[in-house]
Copies of this chain bind each other. A is one copy, B any other.
Amino acid sequence: MTTKKSSVAKEKLLAAASDVFGEKGFRDATVAEICRRAGANIAAVNYHFGNKEALYRETWRQSFAESILAHPQDGGIPPNAPAEQRLRGQITTLMRRVADPENREFVISQMELINPTGLLEEVMKSALIPLREKTLAVVRELLGPEVDEQHVMHCEICILSMCLHPMLIQRIRQRTKKAGAPLLIHDLDAFADHIVLFALAGVQAVRDQRCKKTGSPS
């Protein structure tokens, strides 16, 4: 098919752009370096993508799509499994996805979070909200009907934070080759287990507290 013409050069540019954007962010990355790493001409970015901004969007779109494909959302846990198990599946999947060295989209989205270019606003929202909805649903189930939506959101953001923030720090330490510094996370699965344990205990505590307040048995 001719629509999928997209030359190999374009792919190389996207790969190089992932690397450079992931390392330096949108503005610190230069078109010249991306082209150089891709073995392409200085004009290649504008030729293939129109301008730097369009390349940035396309880079994120591709990284995100690849990441989704590589890490099926529920970690292989069937939807009828107990909620605890499904939460474990989601946490483990998320962490593996974020820890994947191929993953550029995580770093890019964190950069976009703290230093927004405004270029990915829409695309990020539409991509991330569905993911969070899944976790919200499981947490809501675990908390039971007595607990209000505010607490659901609090629990969810806490769980998400425990998954993302440590991995961010981890990636940065790896990047800066701090051989001397002891790695925070030696065993990813062990740390994932730790988060699951932490999360389930936390959720349970929230549930207990709410029930106590409302006087109804857990």
Q: Which residues of A contact B (CB under 8 A)?
A: 24-25, 27-28, 107, 110-111, 113-116, 150-151, 153-155, 157-158, 160-162, 164-166, 168-169, 172, 176, 184, 186, 190-191, 194-195, 197-202, 204-206, 209
A192 → B minimal CB distance (Å)? 10
Nearest-neighbour CB distance to chain B for A154, whole angstroms, equals 5
Q: Are the C-beta atoms of A197 and B172 separated by less than 8 Å?
A: no
- On chain B, the residues within 8 Å of A209 by CB distance are 197
Task: Tell me if A114 and B205 are in contact (CB < 8 A).
Answer: no
User: DSSP class of A's interface residues: helix, strand, loop or mixed?
Assistant: helix
Q: A201-B202, A201-B204 are in contact. Are A25 and B194 (CB under 8 A)?
A: no
Q: 10 A–B contact pairs at CB < 8 A?
A: A25-B114, A110-B114, A111-B115, A114-B115, A153-B184, A158-B194, A158-B195, A197-B205, A198-B198, A199-B202
Inter-subunit contact A115/B115 (CB<8 Å)? yes
Q: Which of B150, B161, B190 is within 8 Å of A164, CB to CB?
A: B161
A175 nearest CB neighbor, chain B only: B116
Contacts of A172 on B, CB cut-off 8 Å?
113-114, 116
Q: Evaluate whether A197 and B206 lie within 8 angstroms (CB atoms) in the complex, with A28-B27, A172-B113 already known.
A: yes
**Which residues of B are found within 8 Å of A195, using beta-carbon distances?**
158
Q: Are A198 and B194 within 8 A (Cβ)?
A: no
Contacts of A186 in B (CB 8 A): 150
* Chain B residues within 8 Å of A154, by CB: 191, 194
A152 vs chain B, min Cβ distance (A): 11
Task: Report whether B169 and A158 are in contact in the complex, using a CB–CB cutoff of 8 Å.
Answer: no
What's the Cα separation between A172 and B124 when bound, in Å? 14
